[in-house]
Structure formats: structure tokens, C-alpha cells
Amino acid sequence: MREKKVYVCSILTMRYFRIYIIVLIVSLSSCANKYQKALKNPDSKQKLEMADAYFKKKDFVRASTLYEQIEEIYSGTPFAEKILYNSAQCSFGLKMYALAGFQFKTYFENFPSGPYAEESLYMNAYCTYLESYVAELDQTDTYKAIETFRIFINVYPESKYINECNTYLDELRAKLSYKAYRTAKLYYNMGEYKSAIVALKNVVKDFPELAQKDEVDFLILKSHFLLAQNSVAEKQLERYKNTLNAFEEINEQYTEGNKYMKEAKEIAVKSQLAIKKLENKS
């Protein structure tokens, strides 16, 4: 008897599931038909109503397509502002950040006093931030994002978005500093010590908040030392002295506990010995 009840319940469950699937298919088919009719409907007012309805449901694909069809028709009317803003939100919802950023910027330029002006200028910067690549790749969009966030801060210095802007700016600058650090370190790894010194110094100058600053300072010291070692005799004395100057800069900034100090001191001792030998020869 128990097995029969389980069997009956199983059959009923399958029937309800089939009914649910049929209802779902009919519903989707009905929605698709409504959407197709809306696309072909010459009545722009009804199209706008449908677009707004899809937008509220977060059906951004259908909403954006309908907004696109009526954008020119409503240009210059009181509806144009909301259509442009909603279109930008649709593009953002679809992760089309380059297009969304352009649309938000267009909104701000056309409606600088509009209710969504502040948000749109912020979203323009945020979309550019989302488009920026990882540190190993091209950083054009990173520089662009930094610029757009700074523009926003200048226009709206008291905005509720200021904290977010500063957080993203720190992240973007960290990305640039890491890129610069990797490029400069590449010169060192290739044995191009003269170029490495210049590049590494520029990294410290441009990004004083660099996370790898102690390593970069040490690599400057070591590049000076290796450059001196690999130089012709007449240039060695001057370059070993430059090595000691670089060590003095490190010694003033870092304590004994720094992980690079032990090797830095060994380089300083070797440089002093090399200088004595060179001076004795002359």
C-alpha cells in the first residue's frame, strides 16, 4: 500500500511538473509575441510604455532595443532625458561598460542640471574603471579612469560618491605603480643596469606610495653595484662610490629588520673594499 501511495505521488508530481512547463512555455511565447508586436508597433507612446515595463523587470535587452527605436522620435521632448538615462542603465546592466559610460557622459553633457546628472558623471567614471585592464596589459583606460574620477571630484567635491572615488583612484594608481615596477624590474633582470637605475628611480618618484618601495630601493643599490662590477676600469671608482651613496639612502630609510638590509650592507662592504683597491692602484 505504501509503495502504491509513493507511485501515485510520483505520477502527480510529474503531471504538475508538465503543467508547469506548459504554462511557462505559453507565458514565454506570449511575452515574445508582445515584444515582437511592440517592435513593429508604429505608436511611439506604446513603445515607450513597453520599454519602461521591460526596464522595471530588468529585461535590459528588450528595453534597450525599444528605447533605441524611439530615442530620435523623443529627442528634444521632456521624455528624452529619462530615455537616455534608462538606456545607459540598460547598457550597464548588460555589462556593456564602454557604451554605458558614453551614454552616461552624454546624459551629463545634455542635462547638467538633471536629476541624474551627478550619478551619470560618476557612472561614466565607474564604467571607465571597469573597462581598465589588469596591470600586465595596456593601461590607457586606467589613465582615462583616473582622469574621469578627478573630473567628477572637481565638479562634485561634496558628493556622496567621493569615498568610492578615492578608493577606486587608489586602486587604479596601485595598478599603474605595479605596471611601472614590473617594467623597471625587467631592465634589472635583463642586466641593463644603467637603464634599470633610471627606470627604478622614476617609479619611486612617480609612485611614492609604491607597495614594493623597499625592493625597488634595494634594486637601485644592487644595480649600481653590478654596473660598477661590469664596468671598464676607468669608470669603476665613480660607480662604486655611487653604490655607497645609494646604500646611505637605504640606511637612512630602513631599519635592521628590513629583509633587504643584510644584503645591502654586504654590498656596501664589498664596494668599500673595491674602492680601496682601485685607489691603491692609482
Which of these ranges, 37-41, 42-46, 47-51, 210-214, has the smallest mean pLDDT? Answer: 37-41
The C-alpha angle 237, 240, 242, rounded to 5 degrees, equals 110
Residue 115 has a pLDDT of 95
Question: Can you list the alpha helix ranges (DSSP code H) found in 41-72?
Answer: 44-56, 60-70
Report yes or no on 254 lying in a domain: yes
Q: What is the pLDDT of residue 12?
A: 44
AA letter at 46: Q
Instruction: Quote the number of domains for the chain.
Output: 1
Instruction: Indicate if the pLDDT at residue 15 is higher than 80.
Output: no
- Is residue 249 situated within a structural domain? yes
User: Which cell is 144 given?
Assistant: 582615462
Q: What is the mean pLDDT of the chain?
A: 86
Residue 220 lies in a domain: yes
Q: Output the pLDDT for position 191.
A: 94
**pLDDT for 140:** 84
* 271 domain residue, yes or no: yes
Task: Name the residue with cell 511557462.
Answer: 24
Give pLDDT, residue 34.
Answer: 67
Residue 191 in any domain: the answer is: no
179-183 mean pLDDT:
90
- pLDDT value at residue 32: 58
The answer to whether position 217 is within a domain reads yes
For residue 267, is it within any domain?
Answer: yes
Q: What is the pLDDT of residue 11?
A: 47
Q: How large is the average pLDDT for residues 58-79?
A: 91
What is the per-residue pLDDT for 33?
A: 65
* Structural domain harbouring 268: 212-282
* Domain contains 38: no
pLDDT digits (tens, 9 = 90+) for 137-170: 567 889 899 999 999 999 999 999 999 999 999 9
* Nearest residue to 202 via CA among 225, 222, 185, 190: 185
